[in-house]
Chain A
Amino acid sequence: MVTAQLTPVAAPPGKPSKTDKRRKTVSRGKRRSNLLTLVMWLSVLYFILPLIWLFMSATKDNSDLFTTFGLWFGDDFNLFANIRDVFAYQDGIYARWTLNTVIYAGTAAVGATALATMAGYAFAKYKFPGDKLLFAIILGAIMIPLTALAIPTYLLFSSAHLTNTPWAVILPSLVSPFGVFLMRVYAADAVPDSLMQAARVDGAGEYRIFWTVSLRLLAPGMVTVMLFTFVATWNNYFLPLIMLNSGDLLPLTVGLAQQQATSTAGGGAQALFSTVIAGAFLSIIPLVIVFLYLQRFWQTGLATGGVKG
């Protein structure tokens, strides 16, 4: 019996969702371990305490920030005053940074997803001369780190006088080799060949099949790629740092870092510490919400990469 069941070891693992359900029925009968529970929750403290510190500090004024215990509230509750300061700083430039970040990350996510979906779909569903070579190039490109590419991209953009424009941040973010890889793996399973054949028999053209049949089946994979590019662009610091220099164009990451540098450098500007911390705290809320809300999608995305990568 055991040997018979061990045979699928070499076979590719099945879809996570199915085993998930089967597993749940099994684990109900399992005994819980108090020791493991304790170890896990103690570990959680390491990951969560810095964020609790960030929240607590966002509720303090500058003097409480340095005199009261970091993991509890200060003498006064200043969260709303701090938020007011965040948005008042330099005539509300924080709102501008937020808007820029949303625009850059949103455009890059939609664009990169469109490009990656079409390419991944073609690699999964069509055979054409050069497909193996081109896909190998994409796999190789995954290995090249984006920051090693940033300075070369800057040099090219500056010779074309395109730096210090939104395009300088958006265009390089449109390329997602990992997105193509993910969509290829996803499309291979999600769009059955038989369905495409049936549509062909009905007289539908290839592009029509893509628009009316395949796209809907690809949607979950697309959300995953979109989420990942969105987060990557939202968090990107190196590229906008070197590409942009007008304050109006900065995203949150570069703006906050600049504000922090100002507050560390100048004794007179010291009042900024609590403003920076409150601004940092506010900036992570949208992403945390997106992640919690779209849990299912990033888990499938990482699963696809991990299982078949």
Chain B
Amino acid sequence: MTTAIQRKQHLVAYGFILPFFAVFATMFIAPLAYSGYLSFFANKLVGGVKYVALGNYVRAFQDPAFLFGLGRTALILFIQVPIMLGLALFFALALDSGRARGSKAVRLLIFLPFAVPGVVAVLMWGYIYGQDFGLTGQITRALGLPPTNFLSDQLILFSIMNIVTWAFVGYNMIILYAALKSIPSELHEAAEIDGASQWRLAWSVKIPMIRPAIFLTIIFSVIGSFQIFNEPKLLVEIAPTAITQGFTPNFYAFNVAFVNQDINYAAAIAFLLGFVIMIVSYVVQLSMQKREVRW
């Protein structure tokens, strides 16, 4: 191939990627750059907008509302994400083993909540959680159990975890199931002929082989946990005392920008949030790589 042809092909390739990168630059890079710029300023009561260098970031790390929001996210990461992915993995393995009757219907029905918009899911669960008139209230009363307020200050975080789990188990299950399907079938046929149990097969053959998919679900869950917004935003109407302004970091950024009208600080929080997510994703990636050596 001559260089003239090569050069022509380079130009063609740039032509193909140009439209995407033009929109990417204006809708992705520019907003980040602009809010990065804004985050270095603050609107002071005296003197108006002033350059404060890293002042907003220092403020965020001393702001209890922001830190408690991060703390709640950490709880979600350590409690809800393992439960959700554990269930997803169990369902995926069970479906893949082909030992349950009606597995095609099971797969679709477990996935169905993912097709429900987050807003509708939260709205629906909000009604279901109602202590007096909701479905949970009706069931606890019918069973003679003491009434439980799922929207109380103590329980609301767990109620939110339940909503997220309900919505996303199916999505993660499908990712893992698709990965399991792509394992060459000779592999477990051989193991089965050798008399390996389904548990053993899952643990020693299937799970190690779908590690990239498991990694993907973990990363997506980490990102998703830091983004939680719909749940506090919609539940605050029916649980005004339990949902504080900084319930989740994302909800806090929203409140700072649109309730407190402090866009400079909001820009700093949004930026910081993206940064935290990148660090956590990186840590997850590192720990997965370390494990690779052992497996």
Contact = CB atoms under 8 A, between A and B. Distances in A.
B100 A118 contact: no
Nearest to B228: A147
Interface string A104-141: 00000000001110110111001111010010000001
A19 interface: yes
Given A40-B106, A143-B281, A13 B274 contact: no
Chain B interface, DSSP helix/strand/loop, else mixed: helix
A32 B230 contact: no
A308 B219 CA distance: 14
Contacts of B215: 309
Nearest to B213: A306
Interface residues of B, number: 112
Chain A interface, DSSP helix/strand/loop, else mixed: helix
Given A141-B24, A147-B227, A302 B175 contact: yes
A198 interface: no
A149 interface: yes
A264 B82 CA distance: 34
Contact of B212 (A65, A261, A280, A308): A308
B178 A154 contact: no
Interface in B202-239: 208-210, 212-213, 215-217, 219, 223-224, 226-227, 229-230, 233-234, 237-238
Interface stretch (B50-58, B115-123, B145-153): B115-123
Contacts of A151: 35, 253-254, 257, 266-267, 270
Nearest to A146: B227
Contact of B13 (A27, A128, A156, A276): A128
Contacts of B91: 40, 43
3 cross-chain pairs, A with B, having the tightest CB-CB distances, nearest first: A303-B178, A152-B35, A122-B16
Interface of A: 1-2, 5-6, 8-9, 13-16, 19-20, 22-23, 26-27, 30-33, 36-37, 39-41, 43-44, 46-48, 50-51, 53-54, 57, 65-67, 69-71, 114-116, 118-119, 121-123, 126-129, 131, 134, 141, 143-156, 159, 171-172, 174-175, 177, 180, 206-207, 210, 231, 234-235, 237-238, 241-242, 252-254, 256-257, 260-261, 264-265, 276-277, 280, 283-284, 287-288, 290-292, 295, 298-300, 302-303, 305-309
Interface of B: 8-10, 12-17, 19-21, 23-24, 26-28, 30-32, 34-35, 38, 87, 91, 94-95, 97-103, 106, 108-121, 123-125, 127-128, 133-135, 138, 166, 169-171, 174-176, 178-179, 181-187, 189-191, 194, 208-210, 212-213, 215-217, 219, 223-224, 226-227, 229-230, 233-234, 237-238, 250, 253-254, 257-258, 263, 266-267, 270-271, 273-274, 277-278, 281
